[in-house]
Structures are given as structure tokens and as C-alpha cells.
Amino acid sequence: MRTSRIRIAAVAGATTALALGFTAYANSATDSGAQTHQSTGTVAHAAPYTSAGSVQQAAGQVVANEGNAPSATGQQVAVASAKKTVTVAKKKPATRATSVRQCSGDEISYDVLHRFPKQLGEHLLVTAMNADSKPCWVTASPSVMLGDTVNVLPHSKKDAPGGTARITLKPGAKVYSAVNLFADGKKKRTSTELSLALRDQGGDTGPAVELNAFTSKGAVSKFTWSSADVTNWNTAKPYDF
């Protein structure tokens, strides 16, 4: 009976020791697993914030948020990108060509043709050509005085409206105006000459030139009038029939 008790006690002790050993192993394994899990979790959490990851993240934020990156490298990329954007925005456009100036009169070559003498529709066809190498513009009607008179002819009431626009004359280009002659009054005048000056858009005139009227054959022509008026400059000949 004693022997049986001893064996039972021994078995019980061994069993207890084995249980304690298993428990200790389990606790040790659990602590080791927790440490391993914690260490692995730390590495996985830190991976996106490595140097390479920071640059990529910053680069993505430069595009989306105009340079608000979290890392120093990202801030440098953002600043560089922002400076580049500002530089492009402030880039000056191509230089535009110089604005076309008003014709002063010195660059204009004039020709006055006396058409339909002593007939219905008699007029002086004034041709103005830009003889300069640069373009210039004219507007409205020329300021005209006939013979030795000092009265500027009025604008023709039969002329088309809208004559205040600028007409640009390239080198060699021509514009036309007509001085309508009416000899149906009692007081008549005769001359071969007229004075002509260009107007600006405000109606002021430049220096005048003295011109002679000519026939279609190139001879100086006398014209008679009791009243007269003038049309606006036009790129087409008036009364071209």
C-alpha cells in the first residue's frame, strides 16, 4: 500500500510538473508571439514613411494640393513645382506689331480726275494712294476748298452713312472720294485748283495740299460750280459707271 501511495504521489507530482512546464512554455510562447506581432506591426506601420515613400507621397500632393507635402523632400518638390508654375504664368506673350498710324498726308500721292464735264453727275474724282513703305489710315471725308474760296465743302447728304471708320492703306493701296459739282445757281465760280487736307476721327485737319484737276487725257481741266459737296473716303470708286 505504501508503494502505491508513493507511485501515485510521484505520478501526481510528475503530472503537476508537466502541467507547470506546459504552462510556462505556453506563457513564453505567448510573450514571444506578442513581441513578434508587435514588432511586425511596427515595421508595417513605418513602411509608408520611408524616404522613398515620402517622396512619392509628396509628389502626389504637389499635383493635387499645389505643394502641401508633409516631408522636407516633398516641400522642396512642391516649392520647385510652384516656382515653375509661376514662371509659366508670367511668361510674356509674343510682341505685337506696332499699331497702324494715321496718314499725315506727306506719304499720300493724290490724283484729281474731272469727270463728266458740264454733264449731269459732274464731279472731281479724288484718288489717294499710300506711297510710303508703311501702312497708315484715313477716315471720314477730306477737307476740301475749291479755287480761291475759304469755305470747306460740306459732306454729301447722298453719301452712304458710317464714314467715320478707319480705312487702313497698305503701301500702294488706294482710296477714293468725289467732289460733286453743281452749276445750277446764279453765282458761279470757275477754277482748275482745289485745296485738300486729311481729317482725323475728331474732325480736325492736317496740312493741306494744292492740287489741279485733270482730264482723262492728262490735261489741266477747268470746272465750274455754284455749290458743291464731298463724299467719304471709300475703297471703291464712287459713280463708277
In order along its 241 residues, the chain shows pLDDT tens digits of 444 443 444 444 444 443 444 444 444 444 444 444 443 444 344 444 334 444 344 333 333 333 444 444 555 544 444 444 444 445 555 445 568 999 999 999 999 999 999 999 999 999 999 999 999 999 999 999 999 999 999 999 989 776 778 999 999 999 999 999 999 878 899 999 999 999 998 888 989 999 999 999 999 999 999 999 999 999 999 998 7
| Exposure b/e, 101-139, CB count within 10 A at least 16 = b | eebebebbebebbbbeeeeeebbbbbebbbebeebbbbb
Backbone conformation region of residue 170, classed left if phi is above 0, alpha if psi is from -120 to 50, else beta: beta
CA torsion through residues 135, 212, 125, 138, sign: positive
- The structure's pTM equals 0.60
- Degrees, nearest 5: CA angle 217-107-102: 125
- Contact status, residue 79 vs residue 58, Cβ threshold 8 Å: no
Pairing of strands 227-230, 174-182: antiparallel
203 neighbors 166 (Cβ within 8 angstroms): no
